Structure 1
Amino acid sequence: MKIKIATYNIHRAIGLDRRFRPQRIIDILTEIDANIVLLQEVDDGVPRSRELDLAKEISQACGYKYYAMGHNVSLKKGSYGNATLSKFPITIERNIDLTINNKKSRGCQHTTLSIQKKTKKVVLDVFNLHLGLSARERQKQAGLLFHSAEYQQLKSKNPCIIAGDFNDWRSLLRALFIEGLGFSCATDTKDAIAIKTFPSFAPRGGLDKVYYKGRLKLSKAYRYRKKIAKIASDHLPIVAEFEL
């Protein structure tokens, strides 16, 4: 069974032209047509994005029956965070607080998906995160994630994906994920080589990553780089295709 995953920091659907244009994000995601989409920097009820529930708007426009919103940052009006859109039922949704001391609020959304595969159901655990700007902060946030009840209670037989905006310019977390925890990385082929996604108009940094483990076989991973994506957000979307 083929599974396509996309992760995309949509920058609140405000493009590099400083215009709020959610339709551009919708058009990109519609063309990618992933089974599961992980979004970061998603507004909910914020004036700069017309007080829309962006997760709901995008999921409905793109034809995703299931979605979940994880609120990380509260503003004077509204909030923003990570959102997961899925063509498979979401049976569990939790938000893990990854905030370190007085740093900006950060979080990781954990969703459990139920996937019907011929005569049996497969459980897929998906973690959608947005990490901090400093290497030290990111190391601590990774520790919070892996020591969280949500991660500790995972069943080893279930496939698992951790993806999102890692802000990890030099892939410093790669050793922890791969050597320490047994993940594979779909987006980094070597320690310092990653699929570059930021900034979208001339990518220099591989900030957006997809890690996976369990019964998932990577077919390919790539960035979506059509003209519209170079202006729709400051990041490019990453797509990873698997056999489950």
Structure 2
Amino acid sequence: MSFRLLTYNIHKGIGGVDRRYRPERTQEVIEHYAADLVLLQEVDEGVKRSQFHQQAEMLADRCGFEHRCYQRNVRVKQGHYGNAIFSRWPLEGPCDLDLTQPLKKRRQALMARCVIHLDGRQHTIGVVNVHLGLAGYERKRQLARLNACDFLGSLSPRTPVVVAGDFNDVYNDLGRAVMFPAGYNAAEKSIRTFPAAAPLRALDRVFYRGGLHATGAFAGRIGVARRASDHLPLIVDFEFAPPDAVDA
């Protein structure tokens, strides 16, 4: 029993090199990797630079995702941008968690329960989409607040949870400093995703806990992915652990 997750900072659909707004490139990248769960960051809603498109609805519709939720993070002169989750399966109870630190840009986590039906079984996964801050101390405080939040506290320790997104993990220290002590595993080993044209940094991360195993992870490097954004997408394949293999 398996599924695929894709996390992707889409940079509002604007190319990292040519600076052109081409949402069809973003769509092509998402469709190419055929993920079941898609976590997007820097999604525009009603902003001039992206032709006032409602990008979350537009991309979800174009890519065939019935289930979606969007979170407004940052207001701009016209419109706003934030995070979005698309899913092949129902998303229940979507909610926001304010991660904003004093004197820093507004940041939130978008969280939901994904109810998956596979091979005659029902699974619930806690899905958390983040776009963390630019300062090292800021990121650690944001993750500490996340790990103490009511949403995660309401889930059984056996319930699978995936925390993914643009961690801005410049120093590759957030796993060791925060996530591993909180019981998470890294789904990948610092795969470089930024800048998309010639990746040097592993800014995008996927951590998980509960009854899951990561069976593979890679950055999406098809030609259009190098042009569509300033980040490459990060793709992780998961399997559910057998029920008797999950710790009580």
Classify the TM-score, shorter chain: over 0.9
Out of 224, 233, 238, the residue aligned to residue 237 of structure 1 is: 233
CA distance in 2: counterparts of 1:90 and 1:204, whole angstroms: 34
Contact 2:147-2:182 at 8 Å conserved across structures: no
Partner of 1:85: 86
Q: How far apart are 1:202 and its partner, in Å?
A: 0.7
Out of 210, 215, 224, the residue aligned to residue 214 of structure 1 is: 210
CA distance in 2: counterparts of 1:49 and 1:39, whole angstroms: 16
The one-letter amino acid paired with 1:121 is Q
Q: How far apart are 1:120 and its partner, in Å?
A: 3.1
CA distance in 2: counterparts of 1:179 and 1:45, whole angstroms: 38
Partner of 1:95: 96
Runs of 4+ in 1 over 3 A off after TM superposition: 176-179
Please, what is the CA RMSD of the aligned residues? 1.1
Partner of 1:5: 5
Alpha-carbon displacement from aligned partner over 1:163-186 (angstroms, at most 9, x marks no partner): 000001121111144431111101
Contact 2:29-2:224 at 8 Å conserved across structures: yes
Partner of 1:200: 196
Identity of aligned residues (%): 38
Partner of 1:53: 54
Q: How far apart are 1:228 and its partner, in Å?
A: 0.8
CA distance in 2: counterparts of 1:178 and 1:102, whole angstroms: 25
Partner of 1:149: 150
Residues 6-85 of structure 1: pairs in structure 2 closer than 5 A:
6-15=6-15, 16-85=17-86
Contact 1:208-1:238 at 8 Å conserved across structures: yes
Contact 1:92-1:113 at 8 Å conserved across structures: no
The one-letter amino acid paired with 2:230 is D
Larger displacement relative to structure 2 (176-185 or 213-222): 176-185
Residues 155-194 of structure 1: pairs in structure 2 closer than 5 A:
155-188=156-189, 194=190
Alpha-carbon displacement from aligned partner over 1:31-55 (angstroms, at most 9, x marks no partner): 1010000000000111111111101
Q: How far apart are 1:217 and its partner, in Å?
A: 1.2
Contact 2:8-2:233 at 8 Å conserved across structures: yes
Q: How far apart are 1:119 and its partner, in Å?
A: 3.4
The number of residue pairs the alignment matches comes to: 239
Contact 1:115-1:122 at 8 Å conserved across structures: yes
Contact 1:9-1:41 at 8 Å conserved across structures: yes
What SS is found at the alignment partner of 2:49? helix
